[in-house]
Structure 1
Amino acid sequence: MPVRLETDTIGMLLTDVSRLLRGAFDRRIITSALGVTPGEARALIQVAATESIKQAEIAIRMGIEPMTLSTYLDRLEGLGLVERVPDPCDRRAKNVVVTDKADTLLLDIRREVRDLMDEVTSGLDAEGREALRASLKGLRENLQQLDRSVSSDKKSVSE
């Protein structure tokens, strides 16, 4: 008899929820006719969430290839929503910043995300939402710690 794995483990549930949430976000951005693609909206969100961020860091955060991100940023820059500026600490790197022109679009995206999340978390009261958020933050921190440990292990081995 073949081995069967559970589908309701935390890892499987997080994977499913992440995939379904991304699809719902994509559909919401497409149907809202905001003038940007879902990928461009995600890139703009990442840039707006920081003061100034390197292109390479955005690609890592989004889990996409740098060339894909570059295409998104080219379009956003062409629309006047972001600018690439020299990194003050690294002449070779470019940081990406949002422009004032992006404010209206960012508010529209935020409204769409809030409406979506209200639908997604329906049935949870404020306390349940906060508990979920706190748990997810804890999982994220644990995973980031694992990443840091793997990175430091790789450095130790290469030295």
Structure 2
Amino acid sequence: MPIKIESETIGMLLTDVSRLLRGAFDRKVNAMDLGITPGEARTLIQVALTEGIKQAEIATRMGIEPMTLSAYLDRLEGLGLVARVPDPADRRAKNVVITDSADPLLTELMAGLREMINAYTAGLDEAERELLCGNLRILRDNLRRLDPCLAGKETGKEKGPAQ
């Protein structure tokens, strides 16, 4: 008889929620008709959260290949939303920053995403939302601390909430 795997574990639930949220994010960004793709929107958010870090670090944080990120950045840079600037500590590296031109788009994007998250967290009051965020931070920090592949790669000191 085949083994029965439990589907309501923390790992399985997080995987399902992550997959569902990613699809919802993609649909929301497409519906907002902002002139950027969902991948470019994720990139723009990541650059805004981690202002001034190297392209390779952004790719790692996003879990995508550097070449994929480069294509997103090329498009965002062409739209005047981000700029690549020399890294003061490493003349071969480029850091990515948000331009002032991105502010209206980011404001609209984040308002749409807040609306989406509010709909998906309906039924949770403010205290329950804070508890959920706090517990997810603990899980994230434990993963970063205990996974040797992640050690030292991320600080967890983002400037604000992610989608």
TM normalised by structure 2 equals 0.90
Q: Deviations over 1:55-109 (max 9, x none)?
A: 0011011100000000000000000000000000011110000000000000011
The residue correspondences of 1:56-67 to structure 2 (distance < 5 A) are 56-67=56-67
**Residue identity (%):** 65
CA, structure 1 residues 4+17, in 2 after alignment: closer, same or farther (shift >3 Å)?
same
Equivalent residue for 2:125?
Answer: 125
Distance in 2, matches of 1:111 and 1:150, equals 31
Equivalent residue for 2:73?
Answer: 73
Question: Which one-letter code corresponds to 1:51 in the other structure?
Answer: E
CA, structure 1 residues 124+150, in 2 after alignment: closer, same or farther (shift >3 Å)?
closer
**Partner-residue secondary structure (3-state), 2:147:** helix
Equivalent residue for 2:9?
Answer: 9
**Partner-residue secondary structure (3-state), 1:96:** strand
Distance in 2, matches of 1:97 and 1:118, equals 29
Root-mean-square deviation over aligned CA pairs: 1.3
Equivalent residue for 1:38?
Answer: 38
Equivalent residue for 2:134?
Answer: 134
Q: Unaligned stretches of 5+ in structure 2?
A: 153-163
Distance in 2, matches of 1:149 and 1:64, equals 15
Aligned residues: 152
TM normalised by structure 1 equals 0.92
Distance in 2, matches of 1:65 and 1:43, equals 12
CA, structure 1 residues 68+149, in 2 after alignment: closer, same or farther (shift >3 Å)?
closer
Question: Which one-letter code corresponds to 2:99 in the other structure?
Answer: T
Q: Deviations over 1:9-67 (max 9, x none)?
A: 00000000000000000000001101100000000000001231110011011100000
Distance in 1, matches of 2:61 and 2:149, equals 18
Q: Does residue 85 of structure 2 align to residue 82 of structure 1? A: no
Question: Which one-letter code corresponds to 2:12 in the other structure?
Answer: M
**Partner-residue secondary structure (3-state), 1:77:** helix
Distance in 2, matches of 1:76 and 1:51, equals 14
Equivalent residue for 2:159?
Answer: none
Q: Unaligned stretches of 5+ in structure 1?
A: 153-159
Asked if 1 retains the 8 angstrom alpha-carbon contact of 2:40 and 2:72, the reply is yes
Q: Does residue 100 of structure 2 align to residue 100 of structure 1? A: yes
Asked if 1 retains the 8 angstrom alpha-carbon contact of 2:144 and 2:150, the reply is no
Distance in 2, matches of 1:4 and 1:40, equals 39
Equivalent residue for 1:24?
Answer: 24
Runs of 4+ more than 6 Å apart? none
CA, structure 1 residues 95+9, in 2 after alignment: closer, same or farther (shift >3 Å)?
same
